[in-house]
Amino acid sequence: MGYHFPCEELDELFGYIDEGCTLLIEGPPGAGKTIFALSLAYRNARLKNSRILYMSLNEDSTKLLLLMRSLGMDVEYLDRNGVLKIIRVPMAGVPELAEYVSKTISENFERYDIVVIDSVTPLMKLLKDYPSKRAWLQNVLYELASRSKGILVVVADILEENDPDIRLLEYVADIVIQLDYRCRTVLERAMIFKKFRGHEIKLATIPFEISSSGIIVLNHVASTKIRRDRKPLVVDNDRLRQVLPPVIEPGTAVLIVGREISFSDTNFYRWLHDYATKLLEEGYRIAFLTYNPRYVRYLRRVAEERSAAKNLFVKYLDPLAISPNIVIREEIELCTRYGIDLLFILDIEKLFHAHRHAETYLYRYESYAINALRKIGVTAIRYINLDRREPIPAVYMDWCDIVLEIAKMENGEIALVPLVTYGVRSPSTVLDREIL
């Protein structure tokens, strides 16, 4: 078996990195190239006990180790087992620098499984003419890697469009991955698999984010495996079955709209509360993600009173201090890390109010989030509170499987109005005023 990518999802999609490969990680400054390289090295050190030689032309070992710790990597484990060596490459003239890098690689390649050069750009800029660059890359990097049982990871900065140095590196490398930041995709970061010699590239562009646990791939190729672990929800109330299907399959997206009423004062809320408590006791894993801090205090107090509190997870997001793309990351990471079956997302209107200037982007972000949770089989129930005349955001009418509106009728009664049932828009008629 070859070497692992930085995360399981990439292994699922592309398989493994073959022995003797040269992997090029390219991208603009700040795209996450160093984090990608460190994550790849660390994951192989933990799973395969691979020995890592990290040659840095940019950062010293202190900064790199601090970065690894910030990503949750157990640096002490690497030190105890002697599987990581970091060399700070001294900057010098062209012959001296090229000779130092070449000598260090050739002397150590047999002793290490993964050799990382971060970044090769300064050296490429010092080597002025094309023949010398081509000869150095072909004879030193490619030949050494191809004759070994390890892999060579080369990091390169894209500083200008159509950079001839990048084109040359891409020609020599077996695998080329470009990391892009603030790119023209739904999310701010994407990795682009441009080349994978001997393998089929099934998905070229993959959105990702960087969190405290490293690289988080947001297009989950392992969704089929994850979905098998999710549980369907059985609606056990006869009157609610007039509005909801008897069984809600994993991955269903539900929106509940409140119209100038307190959701917690409705019978529907009380049913959801009792139903969630019952599910917790049956072993379901439930998470609440809210933009209202008062819900956090209440939910945590409820959790402390329940014996099944270990299956309940609560998280607060400040809508004024978080960007929409991070919201997607938080939702997906919460659900995949803890194996969530049912996710409640409360007070979404606060997110829309905080980002009124970016409603078009919010549509794209939320549609992506709905479909990502659907892929991994998490049933998500969103609640949004709107004014009487305020339209429901189009993204939910277009993408949610079920949309229900809780509204106060002219006679003062509170009614449940189904608007969408599995993609089919329903006439706005009240099915049952007495919800329970």
For residues 152 and 286, membership in a common domain is answered with no
For residues 205 and 123, membership in a common domain is answered with yes
Cα 359 off chain centre by: 22
pLDDT of residue 407: 76
For residues 291 and 331, membership in a common domain is answered with yes
Mean pLDDT score, 133-156: 78
Place of tokens 């809210």: 290
For residues 182 and 254, membership in a common domain is answered with no
Asked if the structure places residue 2 within a domain, the reply is no
For residues 416 and 281, membership in a common domain is answered with yes
Instruction: Encode pLDDT of 280-295 as tens digits.
Output: 888 888 898 888 887 7
Using alpha carbons, select from 117, 108, 149 the residue that is nearest to residue 136: 117
For residues 13 and 126, membership in a common domain is answered with yes
Mean pLDDT score, 187-205: 81
Mean pLDDT score, 22-42: 94
Full residue range of the structural domain in which residue 281 is found: 225-425
Using alpha carbons, select from 180, 181, 188, 183 the residue that is nearest to residue 322: 188
**In the predicted structure, residue 306 carries a pLDDT above the cut 50:** yes
Confidence of residue 95 (pLDDT cuts 50, 70, 90): low
pLDDT of residue 39: 95
pLDDT of residue 12: 81
Average pLDDT, the chain: 81
Asked if the structure places residue 431 within a domain, the reply is no
For residues 268 and 396, membership in a common domain is answered with yes
Asked if the structure places residue 435 within a domain, the reply is no
For residues 232 and 126, membership in a common domain is answered with no
In angstroms, what CA-CA distances link 28 with 34, 35, 38, 188, 210?
A: 11, 13, 17, 13, 15
Confidence of residue 213 (pLDDT cuts 50, 70, 90): confident
Confidence of residue 47 (pLDDT cuts 50, 70, 90): very high
Whether the CB-CB separation of 151 and 16 falls below 8 Å is answered with no
Asked if the structure places residue 377 within a domain, the reply is yes
pLDDT of residue 430: 43
Which of the two residues, 277 and 381, has the higher pLDDT score?
381
For residues 37 and 131, membership in a common domain is answered with yes
For residues 256 and 215, membership in a common domain is answered with no
Give the range among 64-68, 75-79, 85-89, 429-433 with minimum mean pLDDT.
429-433
Whether the CB-CB separation of 414 and 406 falls below 8 Å is answered with yes
**In the predicted structure, residue 422 carries a pLDDT above the cut 90:** no
Asked if the structure places residue 330 within a domain, the reply is yes
Confidence of residue 153 (pLDDT cuts 50, 70, 90): very high
**In the predicted structure, residue 224 carries a pLDDT above the cut 60:** no
Asked if the structure places residue 416 within a domain, the reply is yes
Mean pLDDT score, 320-335: 80
> Which among 221, 246, 273 is the end of a domain?
221
Asked if the structure places residue 434 within a domain, the reply is no
pLDDT of residue 424: 61
Confidence of residue 78 (pLDDT cuts 50, 70, 90): very high
**In the predicted structure, residue 427 carries a pLDDT above the cut 60:** no
Asked if the structure places residue 436 within a domain, the reply is no
> Which among 221, 241, 276 is the end of a domain?
221
Mean pLDDT score, 4-20: 88
Instruction: Encode pLDDT of 83-94 as tens digits.
Output: 999 998 876 655
pLDDT of residue 245: 80
CATH of the domain at 18: 3.40.50.300
Into how many domains does the chain fold? 2
Confidence of residue 305 (pLDDT cuts 50, 70, 90): low
In angstroms, what CA-CA distances link 430 with 22, 103, 254, 424, 434?
A: 64, 78, 18, 16, 10
Confidence of residue 436 (pLDDT cuts 50, 70, 90): very low
Using alpha carbons, select from 278, 224, 220 the residue that is nearest to residue 250: 224
* CA separation for the pair 353, 131 (Å, rounded): 58
Count of C-beta atoms within a 10 Å radius of residue 156: 26
Mean pLDDT score, 25-37: 93
For residues 217 and 291, membership in a common domain is answered with no
> Which among 221, 243, 268 is the end of a domain?
221
pLDDT of residue 408: 75
For residues 155 and 256, membership in a common domain is answered with no
DSSP assignment of 384-433 equals EEE-TTPPPPHHHHHH-SEEEEEEE-TTS-EEEEEEEETTEEPPS--SBS
